[in-house]
A and B are shown apart, each in its own frame.
Chain A
Amino acid sequence: MSWYLLELLTEEIPARMQEKASEQLGEMLKEKLKAEGLDFKSLETFITPRRLGAFLEGLPAAQNDRVEEKKGPSVTASPDAIQGFLRSANVSLEECETREIPGKGYFYFVQKTTKGQSLKSLLSKIVSEIIQEFQWPKSMRWGSYTSSWVRPLRSVISLLNNEIVPLSLEDPHITVGRSTHGHRFLASKALEVHSFDDYKRGLHEFYVMYDPKERFSFIKIQMEKICAEKKLLVKEDDALLKEVVGLTEWPIVATGRIDKQFMTLPPEVLETTMKVHQRYFSVLNHDRTTAPYFLVVANTETIDHQTQIVEGNERVLRARLSDAAFFWNHDQKIPLIERLASLKDLVFHEKIGSVAEKAQRIKLLSSFCFFGDRRDFSLVETAAELSKADLATGMVGEFPELQGIMGAYYAKIEGKPEAVSLAIREHYSPLGPNDKVPISPISVGVALADKIDTLVSFWAAGIQPTGSKDPYALRRSALGVIRLILENELTLPLRDVFSKAYDFLPIGMKKEPKETVLKDLIEFFKGRLKVFLKNKEFDNSIIESVLPPHWDGDIYKSYQILEALDRFLQTSGGQDLLVAYKRAANIVDSAEILDIVLDETLLDQEEEKDLYQVFLTVQKNVETVIRLAADYQRVMERFSDLRIPLDAFFDRVTVQSDDEKVRENRLALLKSIRILLESVANFGTISLP
């Protein structure tokens, strides 16, 4: 069995691209080996800032010979045709055999054996192709060469069973062989490699952890150890950790101190400054408040135990935090309300208008999205009006990710009520399927108004998500609206509120007529709601049954019906009623009766009289329960009252009576029951396993 080791030594690869690149190398190798009919036992790919590599084990010694049969012309064909075949297949007539194809006569056949190529030449071809075809998110050229790579490629290890496999590369400076380099600063000599074990051991001696998983856990362990000694906690951040893994070959964690003078800054400001600019981890006390330390992951181990590195990083952080402190103090000098003027210059979207206009619309719309105490109307309007004001502050200019958060701090400092400050902070939420949904009515009102305004304005401007492209995260906005409504149990008629939002838009920007926008947007919401409900593992056909073609856009009601129906259909009573419904519907459908009014006097048999009485009671009860309590659990219970009389009806009553009037009257009874059930959900779409 053979092995192959590949290492592409490169100038520093951007951290964000590394994980995908390692996966891509694995995929390409698998695909190309398969295309050549080469099996292997195992494949490992790895990446560091400077090297992308793979190790294959259990390769065959060579490609198998391939036998291919070619069918020629009939033995009775013209000599020209036969000669033509022999020439094209490059064989003599003696090498051909003749075989009969039943019903068609005798034909020439020839078997051609293609000798399997050596593993060495195939790997040379495959790896050269991979280097040619590799897709980086961004690649570049260097020197005078036409080859491109993410950053200049410097040398390659290409070893098959300890033998060098040459490659065809554009840049003559790229050496292909068995040599590599260790850590840039901690190892000075070149490393000669004879096996994968050799490679791993050698790199470790030369201060390189080649495996990103090892660097990940090594950093984590160091951070936890440092924090445990100080009785503190690391503020976990896997995205940052992954990035740092991609910035280091020999990750050493060092602890720096945050100057006391900066500890009065909001924790989000400290954390963001450290993370965004410096890739530092924050440290927490046990009560989750920010501790005056940071963790920096250096890419080296120094003779002074990282002393200068820590001092240097502390100086940089002081400078960064001085900037942040300047913004913090300076921003507070201008009240948020005065910031609104500067929002006129801030473009929300060139086809829609400025952020100032948007803030004004959110204010107008917020009262229609507010479900709290009527006395708090002015609060929701204040919060809505100020919701975007912090976009004009210095701090948010520097750190866009602090939007909302800074506005909340500044509002509080100005003495705005707690609920207003909270709403400014929370109104961007929820940001994803797992983000927390606000529950304070003021926050909910602003959050809904902001998202609905965004959706309606994009639709009005003729901009919608297409396929996988959703640059303005409009699907996320719609999901946000759905979750806000459901988790707060709100009855928000989408049509009405979309209509208001459309009216508030400036006339000049509206590319689409109102009716189109309302219709399309409700359809879009229906689609998003279906996706949301499927993710909650509701049955597809039950979801369909509560979202009919002319859905009214009442998200919470549809959800309540769905939940009740789903539970109901898990009971035998529910399942039996569904069967009875289907039977009734089938009979009604096949009879094609239209507008026949039920005539009570024509009811004849006991069972049909019974059914009619129960139907009347259920109809009345259901109407009352919906009107007074919107309790769909009880609606289902009432529905189940229909089951026994329905079954009895089907057992004893023959719908197809000889008397046409009686027949039609029975059909009308079944139809009434069907309409009653369908007034809540379209049972017809439901198919249970």
Chain B
Amino acid sequence: MMSISFQELILKLQTFWAKQGCAILQPYDTEVGAGTLHPATTLRSLGPKPWRAAYVQPSRRPGDGRYGENPNRLGHYYQFQVIIKPSPPNSQELYLESLKYIGVDMQTNDIRFVEDDWENPTIGAAGLGWEIWCNGAEVSQYTYFQQVGGIACNPVSLELTYGLERLAMVLQKVENVYELNWNGLEGDKKITYGDVFLKNEQQFSAYHFEHATTDMLFQHFRDAEQECLKLLGARLPLPAYDHCIKASHIFNILNARGVISVTERATYIARVRDLAKATCSLWLAMEKED
């Protein structure tokens, strides 16, 4: 049997979670470090209103770039994100069903729930759950949100994050991410992950590690911070949040560029967290006014 292509994997996960009543959203259109930062997760996980959504989110981690030379590490990759509030009582079974749906045979593979206390200090978020291992490879993160933006989640949301490249590598039994079959075709028509992304990895690594203009980026960080604060004052939490995640991404580039010392790092993270907390509080307050 031909194993699942990269794009088929995305389509199937979308189909599966659509059947579970999730709204299938599109990626957020600004740079983020993880699927969690999409406002459909960060903001919607707050407050009492039920919510179900699933989407692919391209995620940028400037510091993880390896110029396309490491078969496992990428500065840009895809996460498939599911968020369901409140967390359903059979959520583990649903997750395992989704694995079966994309072709993981529970009779021949070893699936494990291994403790992982998830934390995202830049947005003041924390949760408890697991890394999911398939034959020793971490293929998903499974989290019950306990806190977002420093605010306790009530009810609790279930967040599932599938590392799409890793999952596809396990399913296609491929050891180099760039060799993943993207479109499921062979011969001339085959498009690989490398065809799509190798140049991105090479050029963005060079940008993040060597060419990013740091003075300008420091200024951009301050601008984003100021804009976020101003928009909070104008009671516009959604645009304010955009600037909060912009600040976060700029910080990630500066960090990769090696111009932020250890002590400064904590200060910058705290500055972004303050923006995130204020934004989350305002968003929640306005939700309650509705």
Contacts and interface: CB of A to CB of B under 8 A. Distances in A.
A138 B117 contact: yes
Interface in A1-58: 11-12, 14-16, 49
Contacts of B106: 185
B173 A311 contact: yes
B136 A312 contact: yes
Given A141-B156, A308-B109, A315 B175 contact: yes
Interface residues of B, number: 41
Given A16-B115, A322-B72, A143 B107 contact: no
A151 B128 contact: yes
Given A143-B88, A151-B128, A316 B136 contact: yes
A298 B169 CA distance: 20
Given A16-B115, A142-B87, A318-B175, A326 B70 contact: yes
A592 B51 CA distance: 88
A308 B108 CA distance: 6
B262 A316 contact: no
B113 interface: yes
B136 A296 contact: yes
A142 B130 CA distance: 14
A247 interface: yes
A312 B137 contact: yes
A12 B144 CA distance: 13
B110 interface: yes
Given A11-B92, A142-B87, A313-B136, A346 B262 contact: yes
A133 interface: no
B115 A11 contact: no
A140 interface: yes
Given A142-B144, A312-B170, A247 B135 contact: no
Interface stretch (A72-80, A100-108, A299-307, A609-617): A299-307
Nearest to A297: B110
B137 to A, nearest CB: 5
B150 interface: no
B14 interface: no
Interface string B164-175: 000001100101
Task: Name, among A298, A300, A318, A319, the residue most crowded by chain B CB atoms within 10 Å (CB to CB).
Answer: A319
Task: Name, among A15, A16, A185, the residue most crowded by chain B CB atoms within 10 Å (CB to CB).
Answer: A185
Interface string B156-191: 100000000000011001010000000000000000
Contacts of B134: 312
Contacts of B170: 312, 315
Contacts of B235: none
Contact of B173 (A154, A299, A315): A315
Contacts of B96: 184
Contacts of A49: 113
B86 interface: yes
B112 interface: yes
B85 to A, nearest CB: 9
Contacts of A144: 86, 154-156
A188 to B, nearest CB: 10
A317 B136 contact: yes
A373 interface: no
B94 interface: no
Interface string A174-192: 0000000000110000000
Contact of A247 (B107, B109, B112): B112
B156 to A, nearest CB: 5
A11 B135 CA distance: 20
Nearest to A303: B107
Contacts of B73: 323
B275 interface: no
A15 B130 CA distance: 11
B128 A143 contact: no
A350 B135 contact: no
Given A15-B115, A143-B155, A303-B108, A347 B263 contact: yes
A345 interface: yes
A278 interface: yes
B26 interface: no
B71 interface: yes
Interface string B138-157: 00000010100000001110
Nearest to A172: B89
B18 interface: no
Contacts of B92: 11
Task: Name, among B72, B115, B137, B169, the residue most crowded by chain A CB atoms within 10 Å (CB to CB).
Answer: B115
B193 to A, nearest CB: 15
A304 B107 CA distance: 9
Given A143-B89, A152-B144, A323 B107 contact: no
Contacts of A326: 70
Given A49-B113, A323-B72, A316 B135 contact: yes
B135 A312 contact: yes
B71 A140 contact: no
A309 interface: yes
A173 interface: yes
A185 B107 contact: yes
Task: Name, among A12, A142, A318, A345, the residue most crowded by chain B CB atoms within 10 Å (CB to CB).
Answer: A142
Interface string A346-361: 1100100000000000
A142 B154 CA distance: 9
A316 B108 contact: no
Contacts of A319: 71-72, 175
Interface in B78-117: 86-89, 92, 96, 106-115, 117
Nearest to A305: B108
Nearest to B176: A319
A143 B86 contact: yes
Interface string A271-298: 0000000100000000000000000101
A67 B154 CA distance: 48
A309 B137 CA distance: 10
Contacts of A316: 135-137
A171 B169 CA distance: 39
A636 to B, nearest CB: 56
B13 to A, nearest CB: 20
A142 B92 CA distance: 13
Nearest to B127: A140
Contacts of A315: 135, 137, 169-170, 173, 175
Interface of A: 11-12, 14-16, 49, 138, 140-144, 151-152, 154, 171, 173, 184-185, 247, 278, 296, 298-300, 302-304, 306-309, 311-313, 315-319, 322-323, 326, 345-347, 350
Given A49-B113, A144-B154, A309-B110, 16 more contacts: A11-B113, A15-B114, A142-B86, A143-B87, A143-B89, A144-B156, A185-B107, A296-B136, A300-B111, A309-B109, A312-B109, A315-B175, A316-B137, A318-B175, A323-B70, A323-B72
27 contacts: A15-B115, A140-B127, A141-B146, A142-B86, A143-B89, A144-B155, A151-B128, A151-B144, A154-B89, A171-B89, A185-B107, A298-B110, A300-B110, A303-B107, A306-B110, A308-B135, A309-B109, A311-B135, A312-B109, A312-B135, A312-B137, A313-B135, A316-B136, A317-B136, A318-B175, A319-B71, A326-B70
